[in-house]
Amino acid sequence: MKYLLIVILTLSVKVYAQTDAFCTQNLIKILSNTDYLISIANQENSFNLKNSILTRIEFGRTTAQCTLKNFFTNRVEPNIIIRVFNNYGFELTSLNIKYSLFGGASSIDAGRTSSENIKYSIINFKSIFKHSLINFPADFHLLKYIVIEDKSIQTSIDTNYSDTINPQTNIFQAVDIIKNYEKIQNKPPLAIVNDTGEANFKIGIAKRIELGSKPYLITYKNSTKTKIKPNIVLYFYNLYGVNIATKKISWLIDYIEPGNGKIDEFSIDYIDFGPLFEFTCIDLPSNFMNVKYIIIHDKSSSVTYEKFW
């Protein structure tokens, strides 16, 4: 009798995941000593507010419907900053209501009501932390609190937060992305950044990236027999597998001739994690914003890569 043995291998970028990395935060209690206006979500994903010309905000899938009422005796120019948080103190999105003459109306008459629809998008934390060892709670992307700074009524914000935030340590663990990367076939080029801020690539049009000093430098080399117009996306990761920046570089006119090279300057707009973690119980490591790994998605040629991020 012959036996057929079938072995199924499941390859994953993550080797293991941390649990219990998040603790809930009561923003109403944390910000009780400030002049911020705070509201908690109801079941319809809407918020009702007092002491602001913004009386209600209802979040749809991609649009927030804002109801404003001028309860003063004179005209008011809306100028409101809205920050939306989850149950763990993470800022998920932010909106700004500010009238302008160029947009039509510039103010709301006394006693009048106005309605505004504002497009918004939730920050994709799961994508940013794709290669990290963080395991997100199922309700992480649900809206819980909104924090309002209403500059229309010229409120002064007291930043004397409550001491109810207790930072946790050792939340982030170092990740060997290269070791996990070896399991992926048809993978985009990846390189580790050395102590001098340099990363070298064996394949693709981008051969070297230098982050040691500004402006940053990227070295191209066309090893093909046809001219190429660089079109790449750079993904910058820290030691903990967190995507701290993404850079798209696309040449519109110039080409690199076969056998030729080119050194070009570029800049990076890093994600500002400070406001995102401001009211969480998580302490960011001192080296959190240091680039450790770079992954290049090269669209310059016809090469396709597995969609793994």
Write out the DSSP string of the chain: ------------S-S--B-S------HHHHTTTSS-EEEE--TTSEEE-SSSSEEEEEE-SSEEEEEEE--SSS-B--EEEEEEE-TTS-EEEEEEEE--GGGS---B-TT-EEEEEEE-----HHHHTTTSSB---TTTTS--EEEEEEGGGTPPPP----TT---B-S------HHHHHTT-SSPPPEEE--TTSEEE-SSSSEEEEE-SSSSEEEEEE--SSS-B--EEEEEEE-TTS-EEEEEEEE-SS--B-TT-EEEEEE------HHHHHTTSSBPPPTTTTS--EEEEEE-SSS-------
pLDDT at 151: 83
Can you give the pLDDT at residue 6?
32
Task: Note whether 212 and 250 are within 8 A (CB).
Answer: no
User: Which residues have C-beta within 8 Å of that of residue 258, sequence separation ≥ 6?
Assistant: 222, 224, 225, 226, 227
8 A C-beta contact, residue 300 and residue 201: no
Please return the burial class of 3, using the count of CB atoms within 10 Å of its CB with bins 0-12, 13-18 and 19+: exposed
Which token pair is 140? 């992480």
Report the pLDDT value the prediction gives residue 301, as an integer from 0 to 100: 63
Q: Roughly how many angstroms between the first and final C-alpha of the chain, as a whole number?
A: 45
Instruction: In whole angstroms, give the CA distance from residue 237 to residue 266.
Output: 17
pLDDT given for residue 9 in this prediction: 33
Query: CATH classification of 177-298, choosing from 1.10.1760, 2.60.40, 3.40.1000, 1.10.1240?
Result: 2.60.40
177-298 has the same fold as 27-153: yes
Q: What is the pLDDT of residue 159?
A: 64
Q: How confident is the chain (309 residues) per 10-residue block, as mean pLDDT?
A: 36 43 87 88 88 91 92 87 94 87 67 91 91 89 92 67 66 82 71 94 92 94 90 94 95 89 95 90 91 91 45
**In this structure, are residues 156 and 93 in contact, taking their beta carbons and an 8 Å threshold?**
no
Q: What is the pTM of this model?
A: 0.81
Is the CATH code 3.40.1000 the one for domain 27-153? Answer: no
Give the residue extent of every domain in the chain.
27-153, 177-298
Please state, in angstroms and rounded to a whole number, the distance separating the CA atoms of residues 17 and 117: 39
